[in-house]
C-alpha cells in the first residue's frame, strides 16, 4: 500500500519542508500543506512527531527515515502523507509529501477486498453458530425427552395398577383422565422428538414388510368409534387391488395418516369424514398410493394455507381443541422424507381435502402369509422365576416390582447400579435380567457385555437380558442387541408388552 518513491513525481504531490531543532521547535517551514508556524513545538502539532524524540543527535550516520502513508490531521482536515525525516548534526529536516488522492484510491480497492473476505468469514461463523445452536437444541430435546418419559412411565404404570383395584365411579373417571392426559403428554414428547430428528436429519426411514390391511382396519376401528361418539359419519373406501402386505415405514405412514385423520375429526362437528385409498400405478414391485382424507369441517382460510405446514401453527384458538401445532409440520416433513407428496384444498365452513401420495414396494414372489405374534407361556407354571431388576429410580423399581409380583410367577431382586448387578448375578441364579441402560458405575450395555463375556458358567453368561430406557432412539434397540441383550423395551411401556417380552425370553431360554 506504500507509495513507490519513483511515483512521487508522477503523482506530483505537494510538498512541505520543515526544519526543526532537536528540541522540536520549528525553525523553518512553508505552509504548502499545513499552516504550521516557525517557533511552534512540533510535538504539539501531531503525535506522530514524538518519533523525533528517539533520534540521536550524536549518531554518525544520520540516515534518512521514511514513513509512508501517515495520516496527519490539522483541525478537521486529514491528509495522507509520506514523510522523510533527515537528521544532521544540528537539526532535523522533515519532507511531507501529500498523497491523499492516491491513497484514497488504493484504500477503496483494499476496502472491497477485505470486506468480501470478512463477509465470508462472518457467514462462516454464523453458519457455525447455527449448527451449534441446532446441536444444542437437539441434545436439549433428547435430554428433556428422557427426563419426562421416566416419571411418565411411572404415572402410566401406576394408573394401570390403580385401574385394576376396586375404584368408585368417580375414582375410575379421575384415573381415566390422568391416563388420557399422560398419553397426550407422551404424544407431545413424541412429536417434539420427531421434529428435532427431522430437522437435524437424523430421522431414519425404515423399510419393513407390514400388513397394509391391518393398518387400514386399525384406522377404521379407531375412527368409527370416534365418529360414533361425535355423531359423524366415517366412510372408508380402499382399492381392493392393493397388496395386503407392503414394504415401507409403517410407523411413519401410520403417523402421517393418523395425524391428518385426527385433525379431520378434531375440526369437524357435523357431516362426514371420508378416507379413500387408491392405487395410482404399479410397476414391477413398486406402487404408488393416494390417501384422500375429506371432511366437512371448519376448513382453512386462504391466507392461513401458506402457514399450514409450519411448526407451532394453530389457526383455531378454541381452547377445547387440543394440539401443539406440530402435527402437520411433522406430516409434511415425513411425506417428503418418504418421497411422497401432499396437497390440501379447503373451503372455509365447508371442509378440507388432503391428498397424500406415498410410494411403497411389495414382495412379488414370497407368499403373503400374515405374521401373527407368536404366543409364549412360562415353561413351568408351578415354579416361580427369579428376575433381577437393575434400576436406580425407586419409583420405577416399585412399579415394575408391583407389576411382576402381582403375576404370582416371579421373585424380584433389585440392583441399583451395574456394579451391584454383577455382584448379585455372581451370588444368585436368575432367570432373566431387566436392565436399565442408564445406571451409575457400570451402565447397562457394559454390564451386559461383562455378563456375556466374563463368565464360564452358562447360567450367568446366557441369562436372558431385556434392556429398557426412556431414550427411545432408533439406534438404542440396535445398540442393546449389539451389547448382547436379547430384547429392548422403551419407556413408557404397556404392562402387557413388558410381561409378553419377559415370558418370551424365559420360554425361549427354556426351549434351548
Partner 1 sequence: MKLSKKVVLLGHFGVGKTSLFRRFIDNEFSEEYKVTLGVQIKKKVIQLPNNTEVSMIIWDTEGHSNTVEDTRKSYLLGSHAFIYVFDVTREDTYKNIAQDVNYLKQQYDKVSIKVIGNKLDLINEKTAVKNLKEKGIDFDGLTSAKTNKNVQSFFLDLAHEITEE
How far apart are CB 196 and partner 1 at their closest, in Å? 23
Helices (H), 300-374: 302-305, 327-337
Stretch that binds partner 1, among 41-49, 281-289, 310-318, 382-390 (CB under 8 A): 41-49
How far apart are CB 82 and partner 1 at their closest, in Å? 9
Helices (H), 23-68: 42-45
70: contact with partner 1 by CB under 8 A: yes
How many residues of this chain interact with partner 1, rule: CB under 8 A?
28
Stretch that binds partner 1, among 15-23, 48-56, 155-163, 462-470 (CB under 8 A): 48-56
Q: Based on CB atoms, which residue is closest to partner 1, 115 or 474?
A: 115
Torsion of CA 508, 207, 449, 456, to 10 degrees: 40
> Would you tell me how many other CB atoms lie within 10 Å of the CB of residue 468?
26
> Would you tell me how many other CB atoms lie within 10 Å of the CB of residue 492?
22
| Omega prior to 492 cis, within 30 of 0 | yes
How far apart are CB 13 and partner 1 at their closest, in Å? 14
Q: What is residue 74's DSSP assignment?
A: E
How far apart are CB 496 and partner 1 at their closest, in Å? 48
66: contact with partner 1 by CB under 8 A: yes
The partner residues of 73 in beta bridges, in order of sequence, read 78
How far apart are CB 50 and partner 1 at their closest, in Å? 5
**What does the block give as the cell for 443?**
451402565
Stretch that binds partner 1, among 69-77, 180-188, 268-276, 329-337 (CB under 8 A): 69-77
d(CA 158, CA 403): 9
25: contact with partner 1 by CB under 8 A: no
Site string for partner 1, 96-115 (x = CB under 8 A): -------x--xx--xx--xx
- b/e for 444-454, b at 16 or more Cβ within 10 A? bbebbebbbee
Q: Based on CB atoms, which residue is closest to partner 1, 117 or 481?
A: 117
313 phi/psi in degrees, rounded to 5 = -105, 125
How far apart are CB 103 and partner 1 at their closest, in Å? 5
71: contact with partner 1 by CB under 8 A: yes
d(CA 194, CA 249): 14
2: contact with partner 1 by CB under 8 A: yes
**Can you tell me which of 28, 53, 384, 428 binds partner 1, judged by CB under 8 A?**
53
| Of 15, 12, 11, 53, nearest in space to 34 by CA | 15
Q: Based on CB atoms, which residue is closest to partner 1, 58 or 320?
A: 58
Percentage helix, strand, coil, to 5, in the chain? 45, 25, 30
**Can you tell me which of 7, 30, 50, 214 binds partner 1, judged by CB under 8 A?**
50
Q: Based on CB atoms, which residue is closest to partner 1, 106 or 490?
A: 106
How far apart are CB 73 and partner 1 at their closest, in Å? 9
Site string for partner 1, 72-91 (x = CB under 8 A): --------x-----------
d(CA 69, CA 13): 13
**Can you tell me which of 48, 95, 307, 411 binds partner 1, judged by CB under 8 A?**
48
In the block, residue with C-alpha cell 385423520: 261
**What does the block give as the cell for 263?**
385433525
**Can you tell me which of 15, 17, 25, 65 binds partner 1, judged by CB under 8 A?**
65
The partner residues of 41 in beta bridges, in order of sequence, read 25
How far apart are CB 159 and partner 1 at their closest, in Å? 43
125: contact with partner 1 by CB under 8 A: yes
54: contact with partner 1 by CB under 8 A: yes
**What does the block give as the cell for 10?**
508522477
How far apart are CB 198 and partner 1 at their closest, in Å? 28
117: contact with partner 1 by CB under 8 A: yes
- b/e for 401-421, b at 16 or more Cβ within 10 A? bebbeeeebbebbbbbbbebb
435 touches 414 (CB < 8 A)? no
Q: What is residue 340's DSSP assignment?
A: -
**What does the block give as the cell for 205?**
426411514
496 burial level (CB within 10 Å; 0-12, 13-18, 19+)? exposed
Q: Based on CB atoms, which residue is closest to partner 1, 15 or 178?
A: 15
- List contacts with partner 1 (CB under 8 A): 1-2, 46-48, 50-51, 53-54, 65-71, 80, 103, 106-107, 110-111, 114-115, 117-118, 121, 125
Amino acid at each position: 500500500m506504500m507509495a513507490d518513491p519513483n511515483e512521487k513525481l508522477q503523482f506530483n504531490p505537494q510538498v512541505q519542508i520543515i526544519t526543526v531543532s532537536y528540541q522540536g521547535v520549528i525553525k523553518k517551514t512553508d505552509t504548502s500543506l499545513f499552516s504550521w508556524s516557525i517557533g511552534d513545538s512540533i510535538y504539539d502539532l501531531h503525535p506522530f512527531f514524538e518519533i523525533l524524540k528517539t533520534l540521536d543527535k550524536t549518531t554518525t550516520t544520520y540516515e534518512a527515515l521514511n514513513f509512508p502513508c501517515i495520516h496527519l490531521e490539522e483541525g478537521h482536515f486529514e491528509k495522507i502523507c509520506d514523510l522523510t525525516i533527515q537528521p544532521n548534526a544540528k537539526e532535523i529536516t522533515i519532507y511531507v509529501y501529500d498523497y491523499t488522492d492516491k491513497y484514497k484510491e488504493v484504500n477503496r480497492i483494499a476496502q472491497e477486498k477485505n470486506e468480501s473476505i470478512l463477509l465470508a468469514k462472518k457467514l462462516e461463523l454464523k453458519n457455525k453458530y447455527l449448527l451449534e445452536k441446532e446441536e444444542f437444541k437437539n441434545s436439549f430435546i433428547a435430554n428433556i425427552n428422557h427426563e419426562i418419559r421416566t416419571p411418565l412411565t411411572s404415572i402410566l404404570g401406576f394408573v394401570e395398577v390403580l385401574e385394576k383395584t376396586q375404584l368408585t365411579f368417580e375414582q375410575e373417571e379421575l384415573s381415566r383422565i390422568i391416563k388420557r392426559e399422560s398419553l397426550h403428554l407422551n404424544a407431545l414428547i413424541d412429536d417434539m422428538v420427531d421434529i428435532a430428528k427431522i430437522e437435524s436429519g437424523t430421522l431414519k426411514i425404515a423399510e419393513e414388510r407390514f400388513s397394509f390391511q391391518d393398518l387400514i382396519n386399525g384406522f377404521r376401528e379407531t375412527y368409527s368409534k370416534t365418529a360414533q361418539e361425535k355423531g359423524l359419519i366415517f366412510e372408508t373406501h380402499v382399492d381392493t387391488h392393493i397388496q395386503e402386505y407392503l414394504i415401507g415405514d409403517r410407523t411413519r405412514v401410520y403417523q402421517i395418516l393418523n395425524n391428518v385423520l385426527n385433525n379431520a375429526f378434531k375440526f369437524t362437528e357435523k357431516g362426514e369424514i371420508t378416507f379413500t385409498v387408491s392405487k395410482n400405478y404399479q410397476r414391477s414391485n413398486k406402487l404408488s398410493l393416494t390417501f384422500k382424507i375429506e371432511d366437512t369441517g371448519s376448513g382453512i382460510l386462504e391466507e392461513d394455507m401458506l402457514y399450514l405446514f409450519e411448526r407451532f401453527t394453530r389457526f383455531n384458538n378454541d381452547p377445547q381443541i387440543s394440539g401443539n401445532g406440530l402435527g402437520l409440520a411433522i406430516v409434511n416433513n415425513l411425506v417428503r422424507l418418504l418421497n411422497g407428496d401432499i396437497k390440501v384444498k379447503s373451503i372455509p365452513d365447508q371442509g378440507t381435502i388432503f391428498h397424500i401420495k406415498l410410494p411403497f414396494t411389495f414382495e412379488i414372489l414370497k407368499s403373503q402369509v400374515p405374521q401373527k405374534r407368536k404366543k409364549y407361556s412360562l415353561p413351568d407354571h408351578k415354579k416361580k422365576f427369579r428376575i433381577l431388576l437393575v434400576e436406580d429410580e425407586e419409583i420405577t423399581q416399585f412399579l415394575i416390582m408391583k407389576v411382576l409380583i402381582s403375576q404370582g410367577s416371579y421373585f424380584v431382586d433389585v440392583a441399583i447400579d451395574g456394579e451391584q448387578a454383577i455382584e448379585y448375578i455372581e451370588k444368585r441364579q436368575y432367570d432373566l435380567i431387566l436392565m436399565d441402560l442408564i445406571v451409575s458405575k457400570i451402565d447397562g450395555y457394559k454390564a451386559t457385555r461383562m455378563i456375556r463375556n466374563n463368565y464360564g458358567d452358562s447360567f450367568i453368561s446366557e441369562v436372558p437380558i431385556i434392556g429398557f430406557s426412556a431414550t427411545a432412539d432408533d439406534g438404542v434397540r440396535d445398540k442393546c442387541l449389539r451389547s448382547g441383550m436379547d430384547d429392548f423395551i422403551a419407556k413408557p411401556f404397556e404392562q402387557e408388552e413388558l410381561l409378553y417380552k419377559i415370558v418370551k425370553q424365559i420360554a425361549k431360554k427354556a426351549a434351548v
